[in-house]
């Protein structure tokens, strides 16, 4: 969908933006629910916000949409049969708003076929549609290893003992063109003990049975850190990102409990946006989360000195997400203050940081 802005004005936006303007200027016809120094959060259907963002002005779209489940969760999960058509109503604009070297990182959960211990393949169908119908390139499949995932569906795992536990979710990295901006030096990990030991002993140049040539320099550990896909010491398969999601006592959850506000039930860990924002963006770049929930993405982006935009349709979740910006000034819109709905539960000390 076009915003009516020509390519020149989009470029001007991007340039102007990089010099320190606020990202809410990209969406001048909508009032954010709240803003911070670097971002704006909208109480809106993401399609309304996406449609207004100029072409090519976003560096990274990172999100976890409601998944297609065979039972309805409380925040608008769409039935599997309709899921792809539903998601593509967002995806076309996601592609359009991305810069040519921009990326789209999509965290999506798998699902089961009703009544049987077999898996739905809806998420694979979505991947194919995003590439073949919308025009994204699949840059890399990553996986979020979540050891805290519940043994679901209980019927097949804990009652009839047929299936084993699921403990991964898919994190697909798409790019607008085949050449996304990315820098794995920004996400290096510590060297494993094994690698340091290898380096101390040294290794001979050799060719493995697989045919891979191992050079003597292979063992050098002076490159500043280990490339993440090689983190094998935790028995984590290649490309697997190991992150628990047990932030039961972080500032956000504590504040929600104290204020009597509902804690978002499907947050991803801050480590996930932290990893991809570092990998795929630079300081002052713009990150968008169209399904922001508790706005983990916006808060991480703010901390990493990126600009951000967030959309969320549930006011309680969006109001509570202000707790993620402890120590930063949060400006609530006049409308949000007037309606006062979930915010009345916010303690005066919390509101002192808001307008
Ligand atoms: C899986 S949650 C995202 C959680 C988030 N990653 C976090 O860490 O808190 C998906 C969110 O999308 C919101 N949502 C559903 N439909 C939406 C829409 N059309 N536009 C914007 N947000 C929507 C839901 O209310 C829900 O909070």
pLDDT 10s digits, 153-189: 999 999 999 999 988 889 999 999 999 999 999 988 8
Q: Nearest residue CA, atom 7 of ligand 1?
A: 267
- Per-residue pLDDT for 352 more than 90? no
One domain for residues 162 and 214: no
Count of Cβ atoms closer than 10 Å to residue 82 Cβ: 10
Q: Coil, strand, or helix at residue 290?
A: coil
pTM of the model: 0.85
Instruction: Please check whether residue 2 lies inside any domain of the structure.
Output: no
**Which residues have a Cβ under 8 Å from the Cβ of 352 and sit 6 or more positions away?**
none
Instruction: Please check whether residue 56 lies inside any domain of the structure.
Output: yes
What domain range is 149 assigned to?
A: 7-185+227-345
Instruction: Please check whether residue 283 lies inside any domain of the structure.
Output: yes
Q: Coil, strand, or helix at residue 230?
A: helix
One domain for residues 102 and 32: yes
Instruction: Please check whether residue 350 lies inside any domain of the structure.
Output: no
Higher-confidence residue: 230 or 310?
A: 310
107 lines ligand 1 (CB under 6 A): no
One domain for residues 253 and 313: yes
CA of 107 to the centre of ligand 1 (A): 12
Count how many domains the chain has. Answer: 2
111 near 80, Cβ under 8 Å? yes
One domain for residues 197 and 134: no
Instruction: Please check whether residue 355 lies inside any domain of the structure.
Output: no
CATH number at residue 165: 3.40.50.150
117 lines ligand 1 (CB under 6 A): no
Instruction: With CA atoms as reference, report the closest residue to 284 among 57, 11, 17, 9.
Output: 17
One domain for residues 123 and 208: no
pLDDT in tens, 247-302: 667 889 999 999 889 999 989 989 899 999 999 999 999 999 999 999 999 999 99
Which ligand 1 atom is the nearest neighbour of the CA of 45? 20
DSSP state for residue 291 in the 8-state scheme: S
Instruction: Please check whether residue 284 lies inside any domain of the structure.
Output: yes
45 lines ligand 1 (CB under 6 A): yes
One domain for residues 213 and 181: no
Percentage above 90 pLDDT, the chain: 55
One domain for residues 56 and 153: yes
Total residues belonging to the chain: 355
One domain for residues 198 and 281: no
CA of 37 to the centre of ligand 1 (A): 23
310 lines ligand 1 (CB under 6 A): no
Q: Which two tokens stand for residue 217?
A: 């320099």
Higher-confidence residue: 218 or 304?
A: 304
122 lines ligand 1 (CB under 6 A): no
One domain for residues 84 and 215: no
Q: Nearest residue CA, atom 3 of ligand 1?
A: 293
One domain for residues 156 and 269: yes
One domain for residues 123 and 250: yes
Instruction: Please check whether residue 115 lies inside any domain of the structure.
Output: yes
One domain for residues 104 and 167: yes
């Amino acid at each position: 969908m076009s915003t009516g802005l020509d390519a020149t004005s989009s470029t001007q936006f991007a340039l102007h933006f990089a010099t320190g303007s606020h990202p809410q200027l990209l969406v001048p016809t909508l009032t954010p629910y709240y803003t911070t120094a670097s971002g704006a959060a909208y109480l809106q259907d993401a399609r309304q916000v996406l449609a207004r963002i100029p072409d090519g002005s976003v560096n990274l779209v990172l999100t976890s949409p409601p998944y297609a489940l065979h039972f309805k969760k409380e925040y608008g999960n769409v039935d599997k049969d309709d899921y792809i058509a539903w998601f593509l109503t967002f995806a076309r604009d996601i592609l359009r708003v991305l810069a040519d070297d921009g990326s789209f990182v999509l965290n999506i959960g798998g699902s089961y076929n009703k009544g049987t211990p077999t898996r739905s393949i809806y998420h694979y169908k979505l991947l194919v549609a995003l590439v073949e119908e919308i025009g994204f390139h699949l840059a890399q499949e990553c996986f979020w290893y979540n050891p805290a995932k519940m043994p679901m569906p209980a019927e097949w795992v804990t009652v009839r003992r047929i299936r084993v536990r699921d403990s991964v979710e898919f994190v697909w990295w798409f790019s607008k063109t085949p050449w996304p901006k990315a820098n794995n030096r920004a996400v290096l990990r510590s060297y494993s003990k094994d690698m340091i030991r290898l380096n101390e002993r040294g290794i001979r140049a050799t060719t493995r049975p697989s045919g891979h040539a191992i050079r003597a320099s292979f063992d050098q550990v002076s490159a500043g850190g280990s490339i993440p896909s090689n983190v094998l010491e935790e028995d984590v398969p290649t490309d697997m990102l190991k992150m628990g999601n047990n932030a039961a006592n972080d500032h956000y959850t504590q504040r929600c409990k104290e204020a009597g506000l509902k804690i978002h039930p499907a947050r991803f860990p801050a480590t996930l946006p932290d990893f991809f924002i570092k990998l795929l963006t630079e300081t002052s770049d713009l990150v968008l989360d169209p399904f922001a929930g508790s706005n983990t993405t916006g808060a991480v982006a703010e901390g990493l000195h990126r600009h951000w935009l967030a959309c969320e349709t549930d006011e309680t979740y969006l109001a509570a997400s202000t707790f993620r910006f402890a120590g930063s000034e949060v400006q609530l819109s006049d409308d949000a203050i007037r309606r006062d709905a979930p915010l009345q539960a916010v303690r005066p000390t919390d509101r002192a940081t808001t307008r």
